[in-house]
Structure 1
Amino acid sequence: MKKIIYNTIFLLLALAGCKKDNIVAVIKNNPGAPAITTPAAASTITITKDDMDTRVVMRWNRADYGAKAVLNYTVQLDKAGNNFAAPVTLGNTATDSLSITRAGLNNAVMTSLGLPANAESEVEMRVTTAFNKDTVTSNPVKFKVVTYKDPEPVRLQLWLPGAYQGWSPPAAPVIYNVEGSNYEGYVYMATAGEFKFTSAPDWDHINYGYEADGKLTTDGLKGGIIVPSAGYYKFNVNVDALTYSYTLVESFGLIGTATPGQWDNSTPMTYNATTGVWTVTTDLAAGALKFRANNGWDLNYGPAVTADLSGRLIQTNDAINITEAGNYTVTIDMRQSTPDGYTYMVVKN
């Protein structure tokens, strides 16, 4: 009798276990999407130099699928009105909030979204999640971000107005301060004649004229320096010593073991007066590559980083390392139009 009772209890327990195993969670046909609570719509997040390490917290109410589930939330940001065509992901989390440094938000807005520095821009944020292939997305929230970027250091300049360009300081090319009171740079002058150096793009500040060969004067009534012929010139000026010099550059060329002329003869480049750059397309071997003017060594340049095929040019014994033979287009830009100064680019065709 006891045996029959035990068997009956075992059978009932087994049936109860089967029923438990067959319990299925019921998922809503229309799951509730997450709802963003922070940042508030139309609010503004201002980023400054001093608070880059502080954190901004985004918060939302969790999605409702009608059953408890571990969900992963993705937080995205895009330009307002872009309909999230090219969003940046700020992060992922299994909680109902995401923390990001102001530096990270600043970078996302300026670098990833391409919005301006030191300006207020409107963005929008959304939160998405999925469970059992059912994806839900929050309504986007628009808010503003005031970005921050350190100002570019002031680059001191001298303008070169002259007969070759109509004596117009605002339209004149410039040379740049390189150290202390020394300035240097390259300028193309389409005609021979007089020119001056000015400390501003006008005649209201210091203008430097001709005192004697190699010597400047700050007497604005004195005449200008004379270049004897049209051409591409390198200028050097010391505004404290009131000295100047110039060199006519009749050519720039490639030199080194990567070039046909090795270290003996330059491969000539062509100057484009419209773009202001020197270029050449030629075959290069694996080896060293530098640049020099007038097929000599008085003016020669190499890379700031030997392994880089583009970058800053400096006066150095180092050379660009060409690792693969082939046909290349090589460009140098001596206008100093960026803080990098003189630059180069070597592109394999």
Structure 2
Amino acid sequence: MKKYIKKLALLCTILFLGASCTNDAVLTTLQEVSFSGKVEASSSTIVLTADSTNDPVVVFSWPEVVYPVQAPVTYALQFDIPSAILGTTAWNNAIRVEVGEDALSKSLLGTDLNKIALALGLQSDIAGEIVVRVESNLDRRIYSEPITLTVTPYVKTVVFGAIYMPGSYQDFNIDTAAALDAISSGIYQGYVSFPDSKGLGFKFNTERNWNQFYGADANGNLQKMSDTDFQIATAGSYQMTVNLNTLKWTASPYSWGIVGDATHEPTRDDANYGWNHSSKMTYNHQLKTWKFTGVLRAGNLKFRLNDSWTINYGAKNNDEGIMYLDNAGAHYIGEAGTYEITFTINDIDPANNGYPPTGTYTVTKI
């Protein structure tokens, strides 16, 4: 009899604790939470142009949402058109922009708002309406009242053509010189690697011949038919930009690299050395592909730009040969040895076009 009484008491205790937990959850969920004020935009009528691409064009701000749970609140913006925020499918196809934890404002560049407006179906060079609301999330999602913006998007004119960059890096052979593609009227961009074993001089040619070319003037700017070579500062890989309108050029250090525990063993001072230091790749300007050749350990690798995690690509698996922007995955090297790694990406004019969602790669044991 005592045994059954003990079992009954234990069962009652479990039921009581379960009911208490359930009641607490219900009380938390049912407590009212809402935005205490309106979402505000720094401008409600915005005309976008190519000149505003890299400029902040609107700032959204909103009041803090107070939840009964003491923890960071995550905020996001949702964009849609007025006809799509009604009925059972309201906001289902909205474009969502993450803002972050406990952030109460978000600024958008012209390029970002332009992409959103065009993706929502607004016509270029015609004013149209989009609606914006703020999402807050902690133990549930709460939405602000929407506000309406009048936005005039634009479509960037597609520019074709290229100029060519013969130089010491490829023995000034115009037939194999790197092509710099047009990114705007009179402006060209591309990538070149200058090896340590070659010189640092180069010129710009408008055709694959020497009928018309640009060399350096006394200040290092472009001058037609000048015999003086331009000079890069040091060996390495660069993003080259040439403006024939202003007769100026720039060379920005620019290099993709592989990173991961497959690239380097831990050191005494850094147990994650391979993840903290990129192994640089060089650019094949004829194939428009980045390449690494060297010894790898068994382990993982990814690709990142300029030895930083700001722009990085990871693989979802070892089989499809595709790297995905900001993906947490990596390619696994199963056996140590000497490998050739290639990475191909359409990264022309990333300042205006952004970086593509994917790139392709190969891993070959040699």
What range describes the TM-score normalised by the shorter chain of this pair?
0.3 to 0.5
More helix by share: 2
TM-score, scaled to structure 2: 0.37
Greater C-alpha Rg: 1
